[in-house]
Structure 1
């Protein structure tokens, strides 16, 4: 099967990944209402079709935090993405570098910052959660900065875990012990190519960035237990002063869905924020990012750089998000599925597809540059 779109990569990933890993990437929380809403609401965003306009040269390049990139698209942080392909975060970072777009490494990546940085020639972004151990956080920020990470994406919508029923049913989370472990092994055996290339050759399967505090524990149960025990439910806006004081580069707050929270991010002195509901993986039933984005753009769009994720499956979706007020769009599931389907080449091909789709959508909308995209390209405006 040759992938012609991001949806094709989802099907490739479903065939190649063990069930517990595919469901982890593909699923959401509770009844997955927000997961579906992200896609459905974005699909309903209609663009104006304009004709007889010179679109012979469509320009996609954009500037973010002092750097120029080929298009307003980034590979957002995806935890455990190193399980999608052997040492997967390195491959994704290389694909992003080839495409000249940002790559953001997750705190909960399989590959540590050092390994990913050694695989590329250009610095990337780093994502961080609020963790109980402030000394560890300070050390991790210092480590990422010293290694060359340019921008910190600080996630604020995961102070506690959510009920992700697919993960419980697949045996990835929930009850510990021998039975779930045997279930995962059985699922992996159904995907022998993955079991050999990633399961055996891709070790160690641990959280590389937090390995120093895992005390040599590498099992999935240990990793998930550490995450659950170290997220900080007592986080408040005043705690983010600690982050701002420790991180001197561009700071982006990820996980904002409410206008009042967006205004708080401005007061904090953030350089940007990601309008996000964690891909429908946290509080189910909240608005889609396509619904929340215009309200936040109206409130704070002049004060900081707006990024967005959620439900984006194509270059056309990227254009829709830009029209709603974003400056850059983060891909998540789309690149994880491409990585699972065809490795580094899959991510490279996905980004070429997105670029071609963006060029086509802009031309058909009569727009020759991403700098020209605003709500005037929306139908009915």
Structure 2
């Protein structure tokens, strides 16, 4: 696989190709943070600043990246994160990403605000996937959504906690983000430069939020949908709401958006099975710390009662190893796989996962480790000792 004659060797290559092929408003939706973007940039920069320990004279001939995430086997310690509007990066994007993840052997998470519905993805996959949920005021709709996830065979619910209000993303406002795009002169000119994207979109009927449209009374078009969504994020969200969800969902429950040790301790008391250390990719509170800077303290606070996952800034296999070394059982990737999706559809998601696998394998080898559970030994100057129980990553 290549573009302008050059092979694709990194996530950065996929990002550049996606920038060329995806309409401006949808590429910017992925590739921006809130306000100044400082937290978005810090996620990558702080991961990049962590140094690795090179070792020699160690037998590294038998290496494995296999692990288990939420009790499920994973070929590498990576899952695809829930991302809104993936179906606007490439036609039927959520279906394609889920299929790529299934074939590769890693979990896929579908967003509530996906273009393809729960049923769409279930109809095109055979492996159970995870479903992400926002806490909305319309509890009856939430109960129906949870039931649909159960009926589709979803093995986990991922409740996003860090979006009781939506952070301001300047580019989304300036671009007039909508799905499908509004027929403004600026949009028409931009779309005319993306013929591949337009042709693919013309071949599918999936152009809006299919988990919501047709499932909420009075929501039939973009105008009514936008009005409904903007009024649905629940600012009264609290830990009792999490316990309510725990009562109506009898499978794995993951709490996403934990960025403080005290919240990790509270999460563990709700009966949740896992947390995701995350600042929403720098898309919510600008000025918040990077996810990786908080991971060791949160992992220590969480203890052995709850699985610790991580997201925020993962762009390489080296980043994966660093997160494991600082206390994560596995990582979730969002932008990385969306770059691949926007660049080449399903093949691009596979390319992204293959790049991470190759980089992780090579980094493990050069650090003298053969198993992800030993990732802490690959790091220099770790800010906080990693509790031993968090290093026990059971191979598949």
Counting only pairs closer than 5 Å after superposition, residues 303-318 of structure 1 correspond to structure 2 as: 303-318=305-320
Structure with the higher helix share, 1 or 2: 1
Q: For residue 97 of structure 1, what is the aligned residue in structure 2?
A: 102
2:64 and 2:23 mapped to 1: Cα distance? 40
1:326 — aligned with what? 328
Distance 1:225 1:294 in 2: 40
Summarize deviations over 1:102-142 as a string: whole Å, max 9, x none: 00000011001111011111111000000110011011111
Q: Residues 107 and 129 of structure 2 are in contact (CA less than 8 Å); yes or no, is this contact kept in structure 1?
A: yes
Cα offsets for 1:313-348 (capped at 9, x unmatched): 011110111111100100000101100101101111
- SS of residue paired to 2:269: helix
DSSP 3-state at the match of 1:68: strand
* Contact 1:259 1:299 (C-alpha < 8 Å) held by counterparts: yes
Structure 1 length-normalised TM: 0.95
1:67 to 64, 72, 76: 72
Partner of 1:380: 381
Q: Distance between the aligned counterparts of 2:100 and 2:71, measured in 1?
A: 21
Instruction: State how 1:252-331 maps to structure 2 within 5 Å.
Output: 252-331=254-333
1:162, 1:126 → 2: CA distance? 22
Is the Cα–Cα contact under 8 Å of residues 204 and 218 in structure 1 kept in the other structure? no
Partner of 2:243: 241
**SS of the counterpart of 1:274?**
strand
- Note closer, same or farther for the CA distance 1:216–1:192 as it changes in structure 2 (3 Å cut): farther
SS in 1 for 2:79: strand
**Structure 2, gaps ≥5 residues long:** 383-396
- The answer for the alignment partner of 2:386 in structure 1 is none
Contact 1:81 1:89 in 2 (8 A): yes
Q: Separation in 2 of the partners of 1:179 and 1:143? A: 30
Cα deviations by residue, 1:244-289 (Å, 9 ceiling, x for unpaired): 1111111110001011111110111111000000000001010000
Provide the rounded CA distance (Å) in 2 between the counterparts of 1:264 and 1:216.
36
Count how many residue pairs are aligned between Structure 1 and Structure 2: 375
Q: What's the counterpart of residue 195 of structure 2? A: 192
Q: What residue number does 2:393 align with?
A: none
Q: Verify the 8 A CA contact 2:325 2:374 in the aligned structure 1.
A: no
The residue number in structure 1 matching 2:360 is: 358
Counterpart pick for 1:38 among 31, 37, 43 = 43
Deviations 1:18-44 (A, max 9, x none): 111110010110000000000000001
Please name the residue that 1:13 is paired with.
Answer: 18
Q: Deviations over 1:47-102 (max 9, x none)?
A: 11111111101111111222211111000001010111111101000000011000
Q: How much does 1:296 deviate?
A: 0.4
Q: 1:225 is matched with which residue: 227, 240, 254?
A: 227
Asked whether 1:153 is paired with 2:155, we answer no
Give 1:179 deviation, angstroms: 8.1
| 1:329-348 correspondence to structure 2 within 5 Å | 329-348=331-350
Distance 1:105-1:179 versus aligned 2 partners, 3 A rule: closer
RMSD over aligned Cα atoms: 1.7
How far apart are 1:234 and its partner, in Å? 1.2
Q: Are 1:113 and 2:118 matched, yes or no?
A: yes
